[in-house]
Amino acid sequence: MNEKTQEFEIQKFGWWIGILTKKPDYLYYFGVFDNYWEAERSKNDYIQDLEQEKAEIIDIQIRQCQPEQLTIPL
């Protein structure tokens, strides 16, 4: 795979919010967003929803990816 093909592969992925929780132990993905800033503006809504369900949030990341599952038990 050459550099231009690799660049295209990265660009075709959307932006996702990944939230890692404990109790329950899950990695949740929320998205897809058109850009980083759209995801950043939306993340607090997802955080609030998980906190209302009594999930303990360990980590939050916004990145370009294509998750195979949206809820992953750990």
Q: Which two tokens stand for residue 11?
A: 């660009």
pLDDT of res. 12: 73
Q: What is the DSSP string of 22-57?
A: ETTTEEEEEEEESSHHHHHHHHHHHHHHHHHTT-EE
Phi, psi for residue 23 in degrees, rounded to 5: 60, 65
Phi, psi for residue 28 in degrees, rounded to 5: -105, 140
Which residue segment(s) compose the domain that 21 sits in? 3-73
pLDDT of res. 14: 96
Looking at the structure of the chain, the number of domains it has is 1
pLDDT of res. 65: 96
pLDDT of res. 30: 98
- The rounded average pLDDT for each run of 10 residues, N- to C-terminus, in the chain (74 residues) is 50 90 97 97 98 97 96 96
